[in-house]
Amino acid sequence: MKTPSGHGAAPDGTGAADEAAARTLLRSAARHSRSRCVALCLTTAAASGASLLLPAALGRALDLLLTRPGDAAGTHWVLWCTGLVLLIALLDACHTVLAGTTDARATAWLRQRLVGHVLAVGPRAGERFGPGELVARLVGNAAQAGTAPATAATLLAALAGPVGAVVALGLIDPLLAAVFLGGAPVLTLLLRAFARDSSQCVARYQDVQGRIAGALAEAIGGARTIAAGGTADKEVARILRPLPELSREGRRMWRVQGRAAAQAVAVAPLLQLGVVAVGGVLLVHHRLSVGELLAASRYAVLATGVGVLVGQLSGLIRARAAARRLGEVLTEPAPVYGTRQLPPGEGRLELRSVTVRRGGRTVLDGVDLVVPAGRTVAVVGRSGSGKSLLAALAGRLADPDDGHVLLDGVPLRDLDRTALRRAVGHAFERPALLGDTIEDTIAFGIPSPRPTGSGRPPPRRAPTASYAGCPTATPPPVPRPRCRAANANASASPGRSPTTAACSSWTTPCPASTRSPSATSPRHSCATPREAAG
C-alpha cells in the first residue's frame, strides 16, 4: 500500500541551491581524498614535466650525433632520452592506479553520504524522487560524480603540458611562440563551446535515465500484480517509452563531442604546420639547429594537445552534472529532532488537529485521535485514503503540516532521535530480511541480546495471523515468515519494553490457498501503542 503523496520523481531544476549543493559535495569529496588527489596531481605534473624535457633531450642528442658523430656525449643523451621514456611510462602506470583508487574512494564516500541522508530524510525522499530515481542516482550518478576529484587533479596538472610547451617554443625562438599564440584563441573558443553544449546534453541524458530507472523500479515492486494481470507487455512499453528521447540525447551528446574533436583536429594541424614552417625558415637563416627544429615540432604537438583536454573536460562535465543530481537529494531537508526524553508512561498516542497535504491536496484534515496505552488499533480504508500516512505520523516518518502528534504527552518533534527510535518500531508492507536467519531479523537494531534469566519477559508476539485472516496452524508460505519476523522486530524495542509499533499493512494479504474461508478483511495500516507491562 502506498502513501498517498501525489509526488513523483522531482524534475531537475536549475535552482541555485542545487548548484551550491553540487559544488559543496564535489569539494567535500575532493577533501575526503585529498592525499590521493595531491599524489595524482604531482604524478601528472611529473609526467608532463618529463614529456616537456623529452623533446629538448631528443633535439640535443640529434645535434650531437650530427655534428660530433662517435662522441660519447651523443650516446649519453640518447640514454637520457631512453630514461625519460621509461619514466613517462612508469608515471602513466602510477597515474592509472591512483586515478582508479581515487575514483573508487570518492564514489564510496558519495554513496555513503547519499544513503545516510536518504535514511535521515525518511520516506519523504522516496515520495519526492521515487525509489528507481534514487537507485539511479545512488548507483550511476554517484559513480560519475566520484570521478570528479581525480579528473580535476589530472586536468590541473595536464594544463602544464600545453602551457609549458608554449613557453619552450618561446625559449627556442619567440617567433615560434608568437605563431602558435596567434591561433590559440580559436582553440579556447572551441573548448568553451564544447563545455557549454556538452553540459546541457549530459544533464538531459541523465534526467531521462532517471525516469526509466524509476519506471523499472515501480514495475519490479509490482511484479506479482503484473504477472497475475498479464500486463507484462504494457509495462515493458511503459518503461521503455522514454527510450527514443534517451537515444536522441545520447546521439546529441556524441555529436557535440565529435564536433569538438573534429574542429580541434582541423585547427591543431594548422598550428603545428605553422610552427614547423616558421621553424624551417629560421633553420635556413641559421637561427635554429636541426635538433631545435625537431624539438619545436614536438612542442607544437604538445601545445595543441586539445584531445587530452577535451577528454578530461568532458569527464569533469559529466561528473558535475551527476553531482548536481546528487545535490538535489541532499538539499531535501532532514527532520530536526529535539532533546527531550520520554517520561515514564505506557504509550498513550495522541493526534491533535492533524492536517497533512500531499501533492496539492489535503489527505488528512484536522484529525483528532487518542489511542490509549495497551490498545491495538487497525485503520481500515481504501487504497490512497491516508492509512499509511496516518501510521507514518505515529513514528514521525512524516510530519503533519498542521497539528501535533504526542507520545505520553511529549510532541514527537521535541523528542531526541534515539529516544524516538527506541520508543517506536516500524513494520513495513514489504520488509526485507536483514540477516541470514529469522533470529537475526528479529534482533536487528538491538545492541545485544538480553541475558538469560534477566527476569524481563520477552516481547509479546503481535497477532499477525488474525489481521489478514490467515489460520495460525497453517504453515506460512513465503513471504509470510518475512512479514512476521519484521513485525516481531518492530515490537522488540532495545532498552525499553515494547512501545509503539507503526506499520503499513501489518501483514500482506495471504494467498487464497492459505486464507480461511471466512477471511474477508481488507488490507489495513495500524498503529499499536506499547502494551502495558505484564
The three grid cell numbers given for residue 128, joined into one nine-digit string: 519526492
HSE (side-chain half, CA atoms, 13 Å) at 264 = 24
Instruction: Tell me the pLDDT tens digit for each residue of 41-80.
Output: 899 889 988 999 999 999 999 988 888 887 788 888 899 9
Please, what is the average pLDDT of the chain?
Answer: 76
> How many whole angstroms separate alpha carbon 5 and alpha carbon 501?
22
- Tell me, yes or no, whether 533 lies in a domain: no
User: DSSP 3-state assignment of 349?
Assistant: strand
Q: Are 261 and 381 within one domain?
A: no
Q: Are 265 and 371 within one domain?
A: no
- Tell me, yes or no, whether 2 lies in a domain: no
> How many whole angstroms separate alpha carbon 191 and alpha carbon 186?
9
Instruction: Tell me the pLDDT tens digit for each residue of 144-177.
Output: 899 999 888 888 777 788 888 889 988 998 988 8
> How many whole angstroms separate alpha carbon 390 and alpha carbon 413?
16
CATH number of the domain where residue 124 is located: 1.20.1560.10
Global pTM exceeds 0.85? no
- Tell me, yes or no, whether 434 lies in a domain: yes
- Tell me, yes or no, whether 20 lies in a domain: yes
Q: Label residue 483 by pLDDT band (50, 70, 90).
A: low
User: Could you tell me if 375 and 21 are in contact, meaning their C-beta atoms sit under 8 angstroms apart?
Assistant: no
> How many whole angstroms separate alpha carbon 207 and alpha carbon 255?
19
Helix or strand holding residue 406 (H, E): strand 402-407
Q: Are 45 and 119 within one domain?
A: yes
The three grid cell numbers given for residue 110, joined into one nine-digit string: 558519495
Q: Are 114 and 226 within one domain?
A: yes
Last residue of a domain, one of 276, 297, 330: 330
Q: Are 217 and 365 within one domain?
A: no
| Residues of the domain holding 180 | 16-330
- Tell me, yes or no, whether 10 lies in a domain: no
CA dihedral 223, 225, 227, 230 (to 10 degrees): -130
What is the total count of domains within the chain? Answer: 2
Q: Are 290 and 399 within one domain?
A: no
User: Could you tell me if 396 and 533 are in contact, meaning their C-beta atoms sit under 8 angstroms apart?
Assistant: no
- Tell me, yes or no, whether 356 lies in a domain: yes
The per-residue pLDDT for 84 is 92
User: Could you tell me if 113 and 330 are in contact, meaning their C-beta atoms sit under 8 angstroms apart?
Assistant: yes
Q: Are 365 and 507 within one domain?
A: yes
> How many whole angstroms separate alpha carbon 507 and alpha carbon 489?
14
Instruction: Tell me the pLDDT tens digit for each residue of 357-383.
Output: 887 788 888 888 888 887 888 888 777
> How many whole angstroms separate alpha carbon 390 and alpha carbon 397?
10
Helix or strand holding residue 362 (H, E): strand 361-371
CATH number of the domain where residue 426 is located: 3.40.50.300
CA distances from 351 to 73, 348, 359 (A): 92, 10, 22
- Phi then psi for residue 369, to 5 deg, are -145, 135
* More confident site: 487 or 124: 124
Helix or strand holding residue 183 (H, E): helix 174-221
Q: Are 160 and 301 within one domain?
A: yes
- Tell me, yes or no, whether 490 lies in a domain: yes
